[in-house]
Structure 1
């Protein structure tokens, strides 16, 4: 099984690459095959970014707050 190199990218790196792909596709200067390959890469990057954002959102929501709105504790993320 081959690992997708995109999974090694940080969120910021993945987003930057996704923006590059969008710009490349918008120019219309790529061949059909290149465009399809770029589109597929873009879809993988989009999914990766969405998953990382969902994880971050979930982690933030786990912060417990007291009545004054101050963080008092955190719970470990249950990554099931």
Structure 2
């Protein structure tokens, strides 16, 4: 079996997809304790990756919509991202 892809190299979509799989496995509760701990650690890293990618995307959108004086031009930052 191949090693999982490093989290810091994953796209948002790949990280989210794997995070959903991790959560599903943990929710089923049929994973041995040691494996559950490893899954939880991987899930935490995946969650952080998704948050970081969303924050970067939000910053890009804000930069695109800012005028020459640094004021937003008709948009507001997305709430909760």
**Larger proportion of strand:** 1
Deviation at 1:7, TM superposition (A): 1.1
Other-structure match for 1:62: 63
5+ residue gaps, structure 2, are: 68-72, 75-81
Distance 1:5 1:51 in 2: 15
* TM-score after normalising by structure 1: 0.74
Aligned partner of 1:10 in structure 2 is 11
Give me the whole-angstrom Cα distance separating, in 2, the residues matched to 1:13 and 1:47: 13
Count of residue correspondences: 65
Shift of 1:41: 0.2
Distance in 2 of aligned mates of 1:8 and 1:52: 11
Which structure is richer in relative contact order (CA contacts within 8 A, separation 6 or more)?
Answer: 2
Alpha-carbon distance in structure 2 between the residues aligned to 1:23 and 1:10: 20
Gaps of 5+ in 1: 70-80
Segments of 4+ in structure 1 off by > 2 A?
none
Partner of 2:46: 45
| TM-score of the pair, normalised by structure 2 | 0.73
